[in-house]
A = this chain, B = another copy of it.
Amino acid sequence: MSQKVYEDMLREAGVKPTKVRVAIMSFISLNHGPHTVEELHENSSVTCDLVTVYRAIGLFEKHNLIQSCDFRDGQLRYEYNPEGGDHHHHVICRTCHAHEVVPLCVPDKWRKILGKLGYSDVSHQLEFFGLCRGCTDSG
């Protein structure tokens, strides 16, 4: 599959498409589900330093190519942020840390409310925590 797609994706976002960045971007957009930095480092098709992964995702996040989520387990996770803001959220099991996507998101009208409060360019971070079926039963 052509790397060109990802190169363009980066270029359009204003990020210089280096080999490492293209590899990471490609992995992220092909593999759903939030990934830790460690996972990105291990699974990207290019070998590079962990620090380089940190720097790449830092850039990606700044340019809104990815979004981060906080599962409250000490490390942030990152996932692809499709154009058009069709992002999503997760529910995480407090016990076994399983997680899945949840088809819920805050209403768009809230953006207006926050605008009236004086905030522009508003994004949000939303995650649900609960006990999954298995852990509820065995707990």
Taking beta carbons and an 8 Å cutoff, which residues of A are in contact with B? 68, 70, 72, 91, 93-94, 100, 102, 104, 106, 110, 113-114, 117-133, 136
- Are B130 and A120 in contact, CB atoms less than 8 angstroms apart? yes
- A61 → B minimal CB distance (Å): 10
Main secondary structure of the interface of A (DSSP, over half): strand
- Are B127 and A125 in contact, CB atoms less than 8 angstroms apart? yes
Interfacial chain B residues near A119, Cβ < 8 Å: 91, 93, 128, 130-133
- Are A104 and B113 in contact, CB atoms less than 8 angstroms apart? yes
Interfacial chain B residues near A118, Cβ < 8 Å: 132-133, 136
Could you show 26 A-B contacts with beta carbons less than 8 Å apart? Answer: A70-B72, A72-B125, A93-B119, A94-B121, A100-B117, A102-B114, A104-B110, A110-B128, A118-B133, A118-B136, A119-B131, A119-B132, A119-B133, A120-B131, A120-B136, A121-B130, A121-B131, A122-B129, A123-B128, A123-B130, A124-B127, A124-B128, A124-B129, A125-B126, A125-B127, A126-B126
